[in-house]
Amino acid sequence: MSVPMLSRIENGQSTASLALLERLCSALGTDLATLFREVEGTSGTAQLIKSADQMEVVRSGTKHGHTYRLLSYNRGPQKAFEPFLIGMDKDSESYPRFEHPGTEFIYMLSGRMEYRFGDRTFLIEPGDAFTFSGSTLHGPERLLDDHIEFLAILLYTE
């Protein structure tokens, strides 16, 4: 390939065949997937959900005085993760247990709780981060303060 032809391709004045792109990638020590990922990565996606627009969702703990605020949501056919801001009061009489695919991450914002994971219990305090497999039965065991608040992020694997 001539230098002027390469320049026309780089500047969008000419198109390259798939075979030519494969040869260029080979010469550069990369592959087509990497080449196109870098081109597509420049636009990216972003989502801002203002506080007033965040959805409160109904989960199994909602009927017991727990609040679940969904902080982001995927509009596509498959969700990769779900981040929740969860608030619970000590007056709640029931603490549901959950099982779900993927991994869960909890970051404690305020208050303290004992959290059940399988046959073990963990003390979680403000600033603590707790990551675990969602497929093991888990959930709050006991609130140690009148009100607690934490972030829970569910990461779904393929």
Structure confidence by residue, pLDDT tens digits, 69-113: 888 876 555 678 889 999 998 877 677 888 989 999 999 999 999
Residues 148, 156, 132: CA angle, nearest 5 degrees: 50
Q: How far apart are CA 19 and CA 96, in angstroms?
A: 57
Domains of the chain: 3-40 (no CATH), 51-155 (2.60.120.10)
For every residue of 111-157, DSSP letters joined together read S-EEEEETTEEEEE-TT-EEEEETTS-EEEEEESSSEEEEEEEEE--
Residue 151 has pLDDT above 70, yes or no: yes
> Which pLDDT score, from 0 to 100, does residue 19 have?
79
Q: CA 22, CA 146: separation in Å to the nearest integer? A: 63
CB 49 within 8 A of CB 71: yes
Q: Which residues contact 27 (CB under 8 A, 6 or more apart)?
A: none
Relative to beta strand 113-117, strand 103-110 is unpaired
> How far is Cα of residue 157 from the mean position of the Cα atoms in its chain?
10
pLDDT at 93: 66
pLDDT tens digits along 1-59: 788 887 777 777 777 777 787 787 777 777 777 767 655 555 667 777 788 877 777 65
The pLDDT tens digits for 104-142 are 999 999 999 999 999 999 999 999 999 999 999 999 999
